[in-house]
Structure formats: structure tokens, C-alpha cells
């Protein structure tokens, strides 16, 4: 029974990672047999994983098929409101609880990530790692759990705001400001820097989506 449960969890994690990595994008249909072949597991754990993802609203029904969900404008705005509040709280707590080692790693991430400004997909992956470490540096397991849920929903965004011209370097400057506030133990400044970072990312995403809609007309 434990082995079966682990297989289902593995299938869930693999499908979720594939959505997060853009292998499956909003609107893509997920077929049990194809997923089982791709991931090398039987159809039963795939079916259980798909049911779990549907329950979490990461998948939705299109007739009898399951497809990767997408977010409309209102859902996107709601997601960013929650993300801003929770991420700001994580930064504020990190300013209080982060270890010297965590601060050094965060600084190293910002420095290393500057080499990725011309590679938006790689920078996007690095960005997720950066934010995840801030979550962990809050040293609050319940907050980390809630942020994991938020970031699962972020996987439903078809593009990264880091694709916008000039956004990569600006985002890294914002990361630097967040880290330095955490390093100083200044919770209020860390909170504000994180909120401004999320606000600018949201604004950039709205501009990108408006441009995409205009081109499709």
C-alpha cells in the first residue's frame, strides 16, 4: 500500500513538474496512456495524479478530456494579490529568522543569475529557486505550504514576465534589494521590497498579455 501511494505521489510530482517546466501548457490535453508511457508508470497512479491535479484546479474538464487550466484576468489578479501578501510575509520573517548561510546563498544566487539575463527560461527557473529559498528562510512551515500552493498555480501562466525586454536585469536589482534588507534584519524594508518586486512583475505580465491579445486580433 505504501509503495502504491509513493508511486501515485511520484506520478503527481512528475506531471506537476512537466506543467511547471512548460512541457504541458494551458489548454494542452493530458491523456492517461501517453502520460503513463512518458513517465514509465502504470495508468492507475497517473489516473490518481490527474484526479488530484483536477481537485487543485490545475486541470479542468473539456468535455471528457482533462486539459491544463488557464487563468483569466480576474484569476490572475487574485493570484498576484495573494502572492504579494504571502511573499511579503516570508521576506519579513526571513529578515528575522534567516541564517547567515541562507543570506550568503541568496546573495550568491543574485550574482550568479546575472549571467542568465539573456536566457529567460533559465532565469525563470533560477527565479523560482530564489523565491523558494526566501520562503524556507522564513522558517515557518505553514507559510511555506501556502506559498507552495500559490506557486503551483503560477505554473498555469504560459509565459514568464522575465521575457519582457529589460525585465531580467531590473528583477535582479529588485532581488538584490530584497536580500540586503533581509541581511540587515529590516523586516519592514524586506516586506516593501518584495511587494514592489511582485507589483512590477504583475505590471509586466499585464503588458505582455495585452500585447499578445492585440497581435491575435
- Kindly list the structural domains of the chain, giving each domain's residue range(s) and its CATH number in brackets, ordered by start: 2-68 (1.10.10.10), 73-216 (1.20.120.530)
State pTM to two decimals. 0.82
pLDDT for the residue 200: 95
Which residue in this structure is represented by grid cell 488557464? 70
Is the pLDDT at 217 greater than 70, yes or no? Answer: no
Which one has a higher pLDDT value, 138 or 217? 138
Mean pLDDT, residues 81-108 taken together: 98
The 3 state secondary structure assigned to the chain is CHHHHHHHHHHHHHHHHHHHCCCCCCCCEECHHHHHHHHCCCHHHHHHHHHHHHHCCCEEEECCEEEECCCCHHHHHHHHHHHHHHHHHHHHHHHHHCCHHHHHHHHHHHHHHHHHCCCHHHHHHHHHHHHHHHHHHCCCHHHHHHHHHHHHHHCCCCCCHHHCCCHHHHHHHHHHHHHHHHHHCCHHHHHHHHHHHHHHHHHHHHHHHHHHHHHHC
pLDDT for the residue 1: 43
Residue 96 — pLDDT band, cuts 50, 70, 90? very high
pLDDT digits (tens, 9 = 90+) for 1-54: 455 556 666 888 899 888 887 889 889 999 999 999 999 989 999 999 999 999
pLDDT digits (tens, 9 = 90+) for 172-212: 999 999 999 999 999 999 999 999 999 999 999 998 877 65
Amino acid at each position: 500500500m505504501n509503495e502504491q501511494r509513493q508511486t501515485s505521489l511520484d506520478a503527481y510530482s512528475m506531471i506537476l513538474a512537466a506543467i511547471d517546466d512548460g512541457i504541458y501548457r494551458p489548454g494542452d490535453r493530458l491523456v492517461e496512456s501517453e502520460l503513463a508511457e512518458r513517465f514509465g508508470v502504470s495508468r492507475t497512479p497517473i489516473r490518481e495524479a490527474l484526479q488530484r491535479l483536477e481537485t487543485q484546479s490545475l486541470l479542468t474538464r473539456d468535455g471528457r478530456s482533462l486539459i491544463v487550466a488557464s487563468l483569466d484576468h480576474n484569476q490572475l489578479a487574485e493570484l498576484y494579490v495573494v502572492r504579494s501578501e504571502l511573499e511579503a510575509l516570508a521576506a519579513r520573517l526571513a529578515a528575522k529568522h534567516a541564517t547567515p548561510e541562507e543570506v550568503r546563498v541568496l546573495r550568491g544566487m543574485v550574482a550568479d543569475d546575472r549571467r542568465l539575463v539573456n536566457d529567460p527560461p533559465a532565469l525563470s527557473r533560477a527565479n523560482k529557486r530564489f523565491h523558494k529559498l526566501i520562503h524556507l528562510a522564513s522558517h515557518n512551515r505553514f507559510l511555506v505550504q501556502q506559498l507552495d500552493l500559490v506557486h503551483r498555480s503560477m505554473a498555469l501562466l504560459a509565459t514568464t514576465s522575465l521575457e519582457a525586454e529589460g525585465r531580467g536585469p531590473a528583477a535582479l536589482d529588485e532581488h538584490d534589494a530584497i536580500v540586503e534588507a533581509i541581511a540587515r534584519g529590516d523586516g519592514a524594508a524586506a516586506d516593501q521590497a518584495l511587494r514592489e518586486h511582485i507589483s512590477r512583475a504583475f505590471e509586466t505580465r499585464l503588458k505582455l498579455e495585452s500585447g499578445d491579445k492585440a497581435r491575435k486580433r
